[in-house]
Structure 1
Amino acid sequence: MSLIGATVITTCSGAISDWLGQRPMLIASSVLYFVSGLVMLWSPNVYVLCLARLLDGFGIGLAVTLVPVYISETAPSDIRGLLNTLPQFLSSGGMFLSYCMVFGMSLLASPSGRLMLGILSILSLIYFVLTMFYLPESPRWLVSKGRMLEEKKVLQSLRGTEDVSVIYVL
């Protein structure tokens, strides 16, 4: 179900993020992760669990498609490639840690599959706080909407310099 959700949302995530912006869509991704984790934790039957996995797939699809685009649009050119490898590296590391956690929990006298799935909500809160409070809107998106003053302020805060003369190809 997660793969179905991710596939469905990736087909339209670019158009929606061009309309609403990357920041709101990344916040939506974190909310979808949080809600799906809670629903998986408390799902009364397999149908609700499948619905929660579908929501989880929507969150995954948004994050997987929008994070590299966001990094490409905000990162300085000299470290852009390095920063774009981080999502893949952290995703692989997260999968490894989740496998270790599942293995460790399987050694318990009464392992709880619900708890394993519900831990997603805790991690999604960290994702939500980071996107909500520390993530500015993409400068490219601001330019595409004609919000040049906001774009300049965002670039100045990202670059740490007053001179942010950049030419965008839209």
Structure 2
Amino acid sequence: MRGAALVAIAATIGNFLQGWDNATIAGAIVYIKNDLNLGTSVEGLVVAMSLIGATAITTCSGAISDWLGRRPMLIMSSMLYFVSGLVMLWSPNVYILCLARLLDGFGIGLAVTLVPVYISETAPSEIRGLLNTLPQFTGSGGMFLSYCMVFGMSLMDSPSWRLMLGVLSIPSLLYFAFTVFYLPESPRWLVSKGRMLEAKRVLQRLRDLAVEWLDTLLGANSITCLLALLDPLRGVT
């Protein structure tokens, strides 16, 4: 269970970044409006662009993750966070800023929709409910830390909204490292694609199951048994 818990914590960094972004733009928009001389409508559009991006990507994120896998989409989410942070740090005008916010929204949408699915497909039933509270917890933690950062920067003589928004790229690098080098693919997704041996290795890591037990299970009735083992609705472990 320890392996599944650590994997869930690493995955929810994406939700941490979502909370971070939501809080940062709330404080930075005051400085953006003054610096770029924005009207009320454009000001609202800058804030809303991430929500527009998140809403748009959620319409197809499930189907794409069923095709490509959960892990590749989480990697894509981390990359979108990182790129959007760099672009916001550089943004010379409101058009580039809106584009960066849109990319940021794509990253948010992927994380918010896929992290709970990923946790459900990797966590044992005994702690599945507990681990599925992590996205909300880490999102709130991201908001709190971001508000602290914005408050600290607001005390500077010349607060930089670009720096406020661009800091996002730093924790997104950590998220990228975890998704690439630490997070395994969902064992349930692997089974659905017939990749039984890979699913076996992931299960051994997540659940600390004996090799002999899994060998017996796979030899007896591989697809049926492993699907039952991984079914989040049945709660069988």
Q: Same fold (TM over 0.5)?
A: yes
Tell me by how many angstroms 1:97 deviates. Answer: 1.1
- Partner residue of 2:103? 55
Counterpart residue identity of residue 113, structure 2: T
Q: Quick check: 159-168 or 88-97, which moved more?
A: 159-168
Give deviations 1:91-110, integer Å, cap 9, x for gaps.
01111111111111101111
Q: 1:134 aligns with which of 176, 179, 182?
A: 182
What is the SS of the residue equivalent to 2:168? helix
Question: Partner of 2:159 in structure 1?
Answer: 111
The residue aligned with 1:12 is: 60
Aligned length: 170
Larger radius of gyration: 2
Please say if residues 50 and 102 of structure 2, whose CA atoms lie closer than 8 Å, have aligned partners that are also in contact.
yes
Specify the alignment match of 2:19 in structure 1: none
**4+ runs deviating over 6 angstroms:** none
Higher relative contact order (CA 8 A, sep 6+): 2
- Which residue, out of 203, 215, 219, partners 1:155? 203
* 1:168 CA displacement: 1.7
Asked whether 1:84 is paired with 2:99, we answer no
| Structure 1 unaligned blocks of 5 or more | none
The one-letter amino acid paired with 1:91 is G
**Is residue 2 of structure 1 aligned with residue 28 of structure 2?**
no
The amino acid that maps onto 1:168 is L
Q: TM-score under structure 2 normalisation? A: 0.70
Matched, 1:168 2:227: yes
Percent sequence identity is 82
CA-to-partner distance for each residue in 1:22-81, whole Å, 9 max, x for gaps? 000000000000000000000111100000000000000000000000000001111111
Q: Which amino acid aligns with 1:7?
A: T
TM-score by length of 1: 0.97
How many Å separate the matches in 2 of 1:75 and 1:90?
17
Gaps of 5+ in 2: 1-48, 218-224, 232-237
